[in-house]
Structures are given as structure tokens and as C-alpha cells.
Structure 1
């Protein structure tokens, strides 16, 4: 029996040893895999840290004005931050040093914010403290990113290279027109056709400013009548609600008239875009003024005379409002940082850049867009020809994107800012380094983004959706996409919501998809989607525009107006 137990125990011991060896091998492989992943992640983290150190050294030596730590320690006006938390919101504590009665208003604002607000607001305040406090817009005297970057010799060399490319493109167009067509056009045909009826646009622009100035006095009338009805709360609410309805109706009529005039006058694309963009800008300006100053009026008395019965709300003088209408910002303040003098050489350089890019656009239209799509609807077209045309427009579309950014957000806004001595020139940030679409949308157009954030997102986040950041952001995206589509649709006089799909659907999806992408890969993906998406979008709009003019289409049913002409021409 003892021998049998020894013989039975031996296989058991050997089986246990084999299991231990198997388990050890598995643990060793698992450990090796973990160490390999750890080493890869560690190397990526070390590479990111080393890259940040190299960028910091580069900023410290070449790009001194972009070093945030040095700028905050040496010159507070050189900061590149856009917002900060404030104890008093701009709606209750504006800077009024350049406006009359500013001193009396500042003394009146010395009391705490909680003492001026109604009892109901104080009761709701503990609930609002749990919600994330959104920072306020801060205006600081500073230059634009490219203005500072072009002070560095390396970046100035790249600027010179692009200038030479523009000159060579100009010579290419001149030689082509002279040797092929027997004349020199210089894109003037595009200017003549695109700027037709521009005098009508100028006349409408003047009438719009009459309406905008009338809003200033209408707002003053609402505030003064409301202050006189302090003892009659029911009448005060009725008056305020009636004025609110009239204000919303006036804004809707203002937008409707500008769009309907594009169709009535049959404005070409450039003239229509000028009218639509200027009308949209004035709408945003009016809402900014009303939204900012309405908070003052609703908070109570801001200006008190000797007798209590003469108490009136503080309202900014007319010159503050007029300056805001032409200032290159959509955020209202009573005054802004101002420069000491106008740099006429700087302003003239920006103006010449605007003219140069305008000619560049004319050349691209004549040599690429019209060349590729001018006969669309008349010529035979298969999938292979369509792909060739779309990919042939990729590079010109990328140039259109970059030149449009430079002409509007840098040259034009810096030109107007210099003439008005407007100090805060941060009209955009370093969007070209963005590795997510969150950063791209925030940094591409700071002027419009600030307005959407200040007057749409904050109100939706605070009052409508009660702290829901995602829903408020999605609604802001939808509003922005609709306005972009409205400008393009009425400018081209067609219904073709490609911009809405690219901006409001695909762009929103990319915001969530690219948040976890690595920096280098994310930046590559951002640029790829920008170049490819703009190439496809410009190609589709060009095809739809020429298809509606080249094809003899009938519009017998309402569906014919919304069916793309691209489809109807070839099917």
C-alpha cells in the first residue's frame, strides 16, 4: 500500500510542477507585455515633455512675446489668454472711463453685487454656486499672432515665399491671357461680374445703419419708461414684455429684408455676401448692445440725481455705441484698450494685402473653378471625370481657405483696428496647431466665437439648460451652421445645404471623435479633414451653381426647388 501511494503521488507532484511552470510562463509573458506597453507609453510621454521643453526654449529665444510665463511677469498686456474669472461680471461693472458720468457710475458700483440684485436671485444663489462658473471676456492691448510671428526672421521668410508664389501666379495668369487669349485681363472680368449692383448694397447698408441707430434711442426709451414704472410692477412687466416682443420682431424683419433683397436685386455672389455678412454683423452688434445693457437696467438704478424721483438707469452715451458699431469686435463694452497713435504704414500694408488676396481669388476663379466646372451640365460626365475635377480643386480650395483667413481675420480686422486705434488685436489664435476640433473652432475665429460664447452659450447654459454643457454646445453649433448656410445659400441663390452638413453634422461628430487623439496625429487629421472637406465643399457648390445655369430645368413642383440640380442634370 505504501508503494502504491508513492507511485500515485509522483504523477500528482509532476502535474503540479507542470502547472506551476505553465503559470510562470503565462505570468512572464503577461509581465513582458505590460512592460512593453509601459515602455511605449513612457517613451511617448517623455517625447511630449521633450517637445514641450524644446518649444519653451524656442519661445524664450525666438518667440519671446509668446512666452506666457515671461509675459505675465514682465508685461501684463502681452497675455494671450482670452478670459478669466471675475468677481463682478462685465454686465454689472463695465469700464466707463472714457464715457460721461463714468465716475458716478463707478461709485454706485462700489457696493457688492449681491446688494443690487433682487431677493429672488439671492434665494436662488446657493443653487447656482454648484454650477460651473463661466469666465468673462477680457480685453487687453495686444497684437495679433501673425503680427508677432512675422517679427521673427524665419517666419518673415515664409511670408516672403508666399508673396513670391502670389507674384508667380500673377505672371502665369498674365502670360496665359496674353499668349492664349490675346489680351491681358488680370481678373477684372471676375470683379466686374461679382461686384454688380454694389451701389444697391451700399444704399441698403446706409439704411441699415439708420435702423441700428434708431435701436439705440428705442432702448433708451424702454429703460426710462421702465424706471418711471417702478411703483407699478404689473405695468412695468407689461411694458418690458411688449418691448421684448417688438425687439425680437424687429430683429427677424431686419434679417428677412437683407436676405430677400439679395433675391429681389438678383445680386451676384460677391455683392450678396457683402450685404449678408454686413447684415449679420449688425444683427450681432445690436444684440450685444441690448443684452449687455439690459442687465444693467434690470439690476436697478445705476445713476441717481439729487431727488429720488429723478433716478434714472445708467445708459452709455451715443459715441460709445457708434464706436462699437465699427470696432472689430462683437462684444460690447463702454470702452476698450486703445493705442496711442495710428501706424499708417501698418494700415497701408494690411490694405494692400486685402487687394492682393482679392486679385488672387479672381485668378483662382478664372483658372480653376470656372475652368473645371464652367461647362457642368453641358458636358458628359462620368465618375472618373468627377473624381478628377474634385481632386483637382483640393489645392486651390486649401489656398482659398488660408487666404480667406488671412484676408478677413488678419488683414481686414487689423486694418480697421489700426484706423480706430483698437488695442485688442486677438482676432484669432494659433488654430493651425490644433490637434482637436474643439481647439480649432475656439481658435479659428475668436471674434465670432466670443459672441457665441458670451450671448448664446452662456445664456443657454445658465438659464435654459441649467448647466448642461453638451446640449448648449450642440445648439450653438446648429445656430452657427444655419447662419453659414444662410449666407452661402442666399449668396449663390440656391438651396444646397452642404455647408450645414459639413459644419453642423460632420464637424460636430469630429469634435467628439478626435478628443482622445495624440497631438501629432490629431493635428495631421485636422489638416487632412480641412483640406479634403473644403475641396469637396467648394467643388459641390461650384457644380450646383453652374448646373442651375447651364441646364434647362423646370420647376413645376416644390420638390424641384430643393432637389439638387447636379442630380437633375444627369438623371
Structure 2
């Protein structure tokens, strides 16, 4: 009797094309998915009410500021100066972005030339190995050029904070994009039956809201322009919201920091706690702006069907799940191109450490080039404390999920309060303190200027003593 069942081929029997197809099938697939907040806001009246609460808070703070400015100053100033200063010299920022874009576009013809030349050498394995070495050197050189030129330019002359942040984020985005394409082409170089990416696919990937390369992605049938407009308006509203928080809550506490030679420790501590609430609001707004509104706007413009850019990180009780769910776009790239290649030989612990180190250094570079100084507060919070909390919260979070979720949110409050205090302190200390021979990009100035002192004759009274 003939066996009609389909027999699975062994790896030795499979062709290169079949091996590649099987390997691609095992990779995480893209599908038609909406962002979690899109689903929650559209299906839950409770979540929609929370969204409306944030909008109402913005409107009330705006009204409060307008009334205050009209009464005290006779004019209206609601954060527009902060936006103008933050995006200052935007033309220089655009030029740096165009440079990075030109390097990313030049990568494609270089890839085609490399692939065609390699096929010509298919019967000369020795020369193929040499050509592979040249290819690796060329890729590393392009990635280094993408990072080095903007870094040199921003280090030579400081650019406005928001413009610098945009340039540095785009710099890293282009590096990760071309690296992902190069890695995806490795099996194609070994078999001419598997074509290299077309320029159309490559160009689409450069602007698609993902860092994981595929020749094709799920595509929606049409662009919903009302969705694009709504998300773009949200982006502008959140930029205004953050600039408003900066002007309303940060500048009053820290803009004069360093003008006086001494400052009381109590004033510093009080200012830090005053920055906790605006810090966490800015943290939530930044997440919503970049990972929800901005990416969904681009996804809709490009008809990109998979919009799972993050998961419900706000409910987690483990830092490991938070780091995975917070930004699936970057996490997927780090997993595929850093963690998975390293883990089999280095082990999971070392691979995790390397991933955290690379990610924290990249984040710190964005802040250092944006502010114009190196002050590794985020590096310590994310790359050191966050890494140490991984095993602790993994063990305890499973047993006490609700308690650990509360503690995680407390850490978000305190962590963002410190970020919104220490970076402005250093920023304004460098502006207000007298120049010194010890001034350096890497040496914090706020540690020595101004001098932090205890309040003279300070005493503590028992708050429970109500008998006088």
C-alpha cells in the first residue's frame, strides 16, 4: 500500500531555499493587530474616561496658567517659548537627518554590489571568505559613520535639546535598520535562488514602524486619513503638554540653580519631590506620544497592519516583563540581533547583561548629546538598578503580583522624579555657575556649584505634640 502521508524532509535532504523558508517560518510573524490602548479606549468606557481625565487635566492647567499670566504679567505664555527653544536651529537638525538618510539609502546599492560580486566568486571559497571580511568591514564602517558624524557635530556645537534628541534617535534607528537588513541577507548570499530585497521593500522598511526586516508585511486596504490626523494632533498636543510641564513645574524650581553660591539642602529636596508628579506624567505622555500616537500615525500612513508596538506593561509585577512589553519594537531587534546570537555561547545571564548594557548606553548617549553633558543618572537607574531588580521581582512578583505592581509604580514615580530633578540641576548649573578650569563634558558641575548646605538653626518639632 502506498503511504500517502507527507513525509517531513530531514535537514540534510532540504534545499537551501527550503531551509531558508523554514527558518523564516519559525521567526515571530507579523499579523493584523491593533495597539492595546487602541483596543482599550475603543471598547472600555472606563479607559476612555481615564483618557478624558488626562485631557481635562491639561485643559485645567492651561486655564490656570493663562489666568496667572494675565493677572501677574499682563501677557499669555503657555510653554510656546519652551517649544521654540527646544526645537531651535531645526534646519541643522534636518541636515544631520538627511545625512543619515543618505547613508542608509547608499547601503542598498552597496548591498547589491556585494551580493552580485559574491555570486561571481561562488567557485572560489578562499576569495569568498576574503570578500565576506570586506563586507563585514563595510557594514561596520557604515554603521560607525552613521553614529560618528552626528555625534561629532553635536559634540562640537550643542544643538537644542529636542532637535538633538530627534537626531540621535533617528541615528540609532537607521543603524538598527541597515543591520537588520544585512543580517536577513546572510542566507540569501549562499543561494542565488533566494533573491535579495528589492529597493521598494527596502525603502518601505526604512520608514515602516518596525526594526525587524521582512520582504512583506500585513498591509491594510486603505489609509484612514482621519486616524492619521487624530494621532498627529495627539503628538503636537503632547509636545505642548510636556513643554508646559517643564515651564510650569521645572523652571520655577531649577532655572535659578547656580546663581547663588549656596543653596539649602531642604530646598533641593523639596524641589525633587515637587518634580515627582510632573515627571511621571511626562513619562506616561512620552510613552503615549512615541509608542502609540507617532507609530500608529506612521503605520496608518504606510498601511502597516501589525500595530502591536507595546503590550500592557502597566499591569506587570516583574521588571523582566516590563522591559519586554514597554517597547516591543526595540525589544524585538535586541532579541533577534544581540540576545539570540550571543546566548548559545555566552549564556543567558551574560547575554542579558550585554543587552542591558548596549541599550542603556544608547539611551545615555541620546541624553548626553541632547543636554550637552554626560550625567549617567538614567544609565544607573536602567542599566544597574533595573538589572539588579530583574531576579528579585521575578521571584517575588509571581507570589505577590499586586504588591509588586504597586512597588513598580512607586519606582516609576521616584525614578522619574530624580530624572526631572538631577538633569535640570546639572543643565542650569552649567548655565548659571561661573566658568571653571575643571569644567568638562564628563565632570558634573552641579556637584560643586552651588554649595549645598543645611539650614542654620534647623530644629524638628514633634507633629503629634498638640499640647502647647
TM-score higher than 0.5 = yes
* Residue 483 of structure 1: aligned partner: 362
CA distance in 2, matches of 1:471, 1:482: 16
Match of 2:32 among 141, 144, 147: 141
Shift of 1:556: 4.9
Question: Once the 2 structures are TM-superposed, how far is the Cα of residue 112 of structure 1 from its aligned partner?
Answer: 6.7
In 1, distance between residues paired with 2:67 and 2:259? 29
The answer to whether residue 182 in structure 2 is matched with residue 301 in structure 1 is no
| 2:420 match: secondary structure | helix
Matches within 5 A, 1:529-540: 529-540=411-422
Q: Which residue of 1 aligns with 2:270?
A: 388
CA distance in 2, matches of 1:405, 1:135: 30
> Matched residues in 2 for 1:293 and 1:397: separation?
43
Equivalent residue, structure 1, for 2:352: 473
Answer yes or no: is the 8 Å Cα contact 1:555–1:561 preserved in 2: no
Q: 1:333 aligns with which of 214, 237, 240?
A: 214
Q: 1-side partners of 2:187 and 2:83: how far apart?
A: 45
| Structural mapping, 1:103-502, within 5 Å | 114=12, 115-116=14-15, 136-151=27-42, 152-297=44-189, 300-303=190-193, 314-379=195-260, 380-462=262-344, 464-465=345-346, 468-502=347-381
Deviations 1:226-267 (CA, angstroms, capped at 9, x unpaired): 111111111111111022112212211220111112133420
Structure ranking higher on relative contact order (CA contacts 8 Å, 6+ apart): 2
| Cα distance in 1 for residues equivalent to 2:158 and 2:122 | 50
Counterparts in 2 of 1:318 and 1:242: CA distance versus 1, 3 Å:
same
Shift of 1:368: 1.1
Who is 2:436 aligned against? 554
Q: CA separation of 1:112/1:288 partners in 2, compared to 1, >3 Å: closer, same or farther?
A: farther
2:383 corresponding residue in structure 1:
504
Q: Deviations over 1:295-316 (max 9, x none)?
A: 322xx2242xxxxxxxxx5111
Q: Is the 8 A contact 1:394 1:532 kept in 2?
A: yes
Runs of 5+ unmatched residues, structure 2: 1-7, 20-24, 452-468
Runs of 4+ in 1 over 4 A off after TM superposition: 110-114
- CA drift of 1:113 comes to 5.4
CA contact (8 A) 1:137 1:450 kept: no
What is the CA deviation profile of residues 143-173 of structure 1, one whole-angstrom value per residue up to 9, with x for unaligned ones?
A: 1000000112222122112211111111112
Confirm or deny that 1:520 pairs with 2:376: no
Distance change >3 Å, CA 420–CA 112, structure 1 → 2: farther
CA contact (8 A) 1:357 1:403 kept: yes
Structure 1 window deviating more from structure 2 (524-533 vs 149-158): it is 149-158
Q: 1: CA distance between counterparts of 2:127 and 2:164? A: 43
Name the Cα RMSD after superposition: 1.9
Structure 2 CA distance, aligned partners of 1:399 and 1:200? 30
Instruction: Assess if the C-alpha contact under 8 Å between 1:173 and 1:363 holds in 2.
Output: no
Distance 2:54 2:305 in 1: 28
Partners of 2:103 and 2:142 within 8 A in 1:
no
Question: Is 1:428–1:445's contact at 8 Å kept on the other side of the alignment?
Answer: yes
Cα deviation for residue 221 of structure 1 reads: 1.0
Partner of 1:206, secondary structure, is helix
Instruction: Give the TM-score taking structure 2 as reference length.
Output: 0.89
- Distance in 1 of aligned mates of 2:234 and 2:355: 32
Please give the alpha-carbon distance, in whole angstroms, between the structure 1 residues aligned to 2:258 and 2:331: 39
- Partner SS, residue 381 of structure 1: strand
Question: 1:127: which partner in 2?
Answer: none
| Secondary structure of residue in 2 paired with 1:562 | coil
Alpha carbons of structure 1 residues 498 and 230: separation in structure 2 relative to 1, 3 Å:
same
Distance 1:113 1:170 in 2: 65
Calculate the TM-score normalised by the size of structure 1: 0.73
